[in-house]
Chains A and B, each alone.
Chain A
Amino acid sequence: MNQFVRTVVAYATLFMLGVLGLAPFAYMLLLSTKRRIEIVAQVPPELSFNFETIVKNYNEVLFSLGMASFILNSLIVVGLSTLIALLLATPAAYAFSRLRFRSNHGLANWILSLRFMPPIAIAVPLFLMMRYGGIEDSYLGLVLPYVSFSLPVIIWILIGFFDEVPSEIDDAALIDGCSRFGVLWRVLLPLVRPGLATASLFSAIFIWNEFLLALYVIDSHELQTIALGAATLVSAQRPIDWHIAAGVGVTTVVPILVFSVFVQKYLVRGLTAGAVK
């Protein structure tokens, strides 16, 4: 009996945790389907939906307020930055994992320590640099700094994955006359595919959420990225329309929730890149 009660309590707790975990998201989703007046009038909001209101709200969020184009901007910036970062990081991670050279560990740790840098410390200089190069207020002005924000984490995620591939595989390929580059490109890359996926997803989520640098670099309304666009629409400084704010929140978060399905399996490795093995 005692065992039975414990099991029931345990499952009840698990269920409650699930509900509590989903509740804030569900609440935001629900608010985004209401009219302005209903948010104040229905406390708590009723689980009834009016299709017309939903269409009207999301039409305003996506098109009148421009969230659709912010999403497009973010996709371009995320895609370019992640691609460039992967191209730079993969050979570097391979070198750290395989080659013996002086200061291998020191350099790798130094790169990892860049992850701890407060973005506020380099946002202004980066902005001034982009301005000097005449690329402030452009996609490129965001992509160049974002690549350097992503590099440390990507390198470290990939080192972990390369370390798992036995180096006998490289040796065999080298003996067969493959160049170092050939080994990396033809033999190892297919083996570390999950690593490449994990690294890209983490880099993508990070850049999707980035807001401080975008605030400095981007001036034009039509170039705003999703986090910046969302922040300007729902800033804590001024009164807001909550049904619209909730819609902005939903549109910002939905793509990440889709990503998160793929990220679950490698979550730990991505979050603790460089540490827990």
Chain B
Amino acid sequence: MTSTKKLLVSPVLWLLGPALVYLILFAIFPLFYSLRLSFTQLVSATGEGSWVGFGNYVSLFADPLFWNAAVNSFWFVSISVSLELVLGVALALFFNLGLRGSAVVRGILVLPMLITPIVVGVMWRALLNADWGLISWLIAQFGIDPPNWFSSTTHSFVALVAVEVWQWTPFVFIIVFARLQTLPQDVFEAVQVDGASAFQTFRYITLPLLKATIIFAAVFRAVDAFRSFDLIYGLTFGGPARATTTLSFFAFQNGFQFQNYGYSAAISYVMLIILAVGTVILFRYVNLRVEQDQ
């Protein structure tokens, strides 16, 4: 058989081909289209634009609004993910005690990450409403004046981080918890016999065993928080005064609101490069398909 014939009857081709062709058409092609767009000045959705080379990228790096969005993205991702890791690991350790009824509570706690980000935004705008929101009322019960969350730049950023943490801590919690459940119990029994304190056990035994899982969770969360767009749309719409405009929201505004498609594509390509670096790190530190931790 010639090699072409061999290829044509190969089960690999018939099993894998359709999915690959589909992904090339509807994921890779748009990605290249986007790259092309980023070198053009296209201001309406007619399709063709004028070629401007690196023009969009040059104006991008000179644009203070871009740097504002980049800085916001940086703080948004790093603060949210750190908090999610700490709280998620704490929750996992707590649920690992195996209290009765904890499965039900676990089921409740994972709900936030399944629900529509747009709705999460509305729900929290109600909870935080300065005049009648439940949280503002609770704060007032302590004799503190509740802040007007969405009209101050600092407060709205804090609110955005808090809601992101509320929605996605369960992700860290649930995968760290799953890992904890598979850890060999004899190690823990041995160090208890040796008289290790709870903190020592955590610091020197549990934490090192969880390292790979925590790194994995951190990278996954960082990538998703970086891409996050719907939540910002639903909660703060990037404001006030662009205080919560991250790169992804900035790209959206330029593309959808201002119809500056070339500029928007350039922003998303900068994001893609940052993400590619993130993905490479993921593949490097977390061995995806080969036996992990074995």
Are A and B co-members of a single complex? yes
Residues of chain A whose beta carbon lies under 8 Å from any beta carbon of chain B: 10-11, 13-14, 17-18, 21-25, 27-28, 31, 39-40, 43-44, 88-89, 91-92, 94-96, 99, 101, 105, 107-109, 111-114, 116-129, 131-132, 144-145, 147-148, 151-152, 155, 159, 180-181, 184, 205, 208-209, 211-212, 215-216, 226-227, 230-231, 234-237, 242, 245-246, 248-249, 252-253, 256-257, 259-260, 263-264, 267-268, 271-272, 274-277
Tell me if B16 and A120 are in contact (CB < 8 A): no
Is B65 positioned at the interface, with any CB of A under 8 Å from its CB?
Answer: no
Tell me if A260 and B292 are in contact (CB < 8 A): no
Q: Which of B102, B174, B178, B289 contacts A14 (CB 8 A)?
A: B102
Most buried by B among A119, A159, A208: A119
Given contacts A92-B15, A118-B271, 17 further A-B contacts (CB under 8 A): A25-B123, A40-B132, A43-B131, A92-B16, A118-B226, A120-B229, A120-B264, A126-B30, A129-B33, A230-B118, A230-B122, A245-B122, A253-B119, A257-B114, A267-B110, A276-B178, A276-B292
Whole-angstrom CA separation of A108 from B12 in the bound complex: 13
Whole-angstrom CA separation of A25 from B108 in the bound complex: 10
Tell me if B127 and A24 are in contact (CB < 8 A): yes
Tell me if A91 and B111 are in contact (CB < 8 A): no
Whole-angstrom CA separation of A81 from B19 in the bound complex: 13
Whole-angstrom CA separation of A237 from B234 in the bound complex: 9
Is B31 positioned at the interface, with any CB of A under 8 Å from its CB?
Answer: yes
Whole-angstrom CA separation of A97 from B126 in the bound complex: 47
Is B241 positioned at the interface, with any CB of A under 8 Å from its CB?
Answer: no
Band of interface residues on B:
35 or more
- Closest A residue to B239 by CB, please name it: A236
Q: How far is the CB of B221 from chain A (nearest CB, A)?
A: 11
Tell me if B216 and A95 are in contact (CB < 8 A): no
Q: How far is the CB of B265 from chain A (nearest CB, A)?
A: 7
Q: Check A252/B119 contact, CB under 8 A, given A147-B22, A205-B114.
A: yes
Q: Which of A39, A144, A253 contacts B132 (CB 8 A)?
A: A39
Whole-angstrom CA separation of A226 from B84 in the bound complex: 29
Residue interface mask B12-46, A partner, CB < 8 A = 1? 10111011101101110111011001000000010
Q: Which of B125-179 contact A (CB under 8 A)?
A: 125-127, 129, 131-132, 134, 137, 171, 174-175, 178-179
Q: Check A18/B179 contact, CB under 8 A, given A121-B269, A271-B171, A274-B288.
A: no
Q: Which of A21, A109, A117 contacts B27 (CB 8 A)?
A: A117
Residues from chain A with a CB closer than 8 A to the CB of B226 are 118
Whole-angstrom CA separation of A95 from B226 in the bound complex: 32
Is B88 positioned at the interface, with any CB of A under 8 Å from its CB?
Answer: no
The 4 A-B residue pairs with the shortest CB-CB distance, nearest first, are A148-B26, A125-B30, A125-B33, A121-B268
Can you offer 14 A-B residue contacts whose CB atoms are under 8 A?
A10-B97, A10-B99, A21-B109, A44-B137, A91-B19, A92-B18, A99-B11, A122-B27, A145-B26, A148-B25, A211-B118, A274-B289, A276-B179, A277-B292
Q: Which of A121, A235, A260 contacts B34 (CB 8 A)?
A: A121
Residues from chain B with a CB closer than 8 A to the CB of A114 are 23, 27
Q: Check A91/B18 contact, CB under 8 A, given A132-B47, A145-B26, A256-B116.
A: yes
Q: How far is the CB of A242 from chain B (nearest CB, A)?
A: 6
Q: Which of A14, A118, A128 contacts B101 (CB 8 A)?
A: A14
Residues from chain B with a CB closer than 8 A to the CB of A96 are 16
Is B235 positioned at the interface, with any CB of A under 8 Å from its CB?
Answer: yes
Most buried by A among B12, B265, B279: B12
Tell me if A91 and B122 are in contact (CB < 8 A): no
Tell me if A17 and B271 are in contact (CB < 8 A): no
Whole-angstrom CA separation of A271 from B220 in the bound complex: 10
Tell me if B233 and A216 are in contact (CB < 8 A): no
Whole-angstrom CA separation of A159 from B16 in the bound complex: 13
Whole-angstrom CA separation of A260 from B107 in the bound complex: 9
Residues from chain B with a CB closer than 8 A to the CB of A11 are 99
Tell me if A94 and B256 are in contact (CB < 8 A): no
Q: How far is the CB of B146 from chain A (nearest CB, A)?
A: 11
Whole-angstrom CA separation of A105 from B261 in the bound complex: 35
Tell me if B111 and A25 are in contact (CB < 8 A): yes
Q: How far is the CB of A99 from chain B (nearest CB, A)?
A: 5
Q: Which of B107, B265, B268, B286 contacts A264 (CB 8 A)?
A: B107
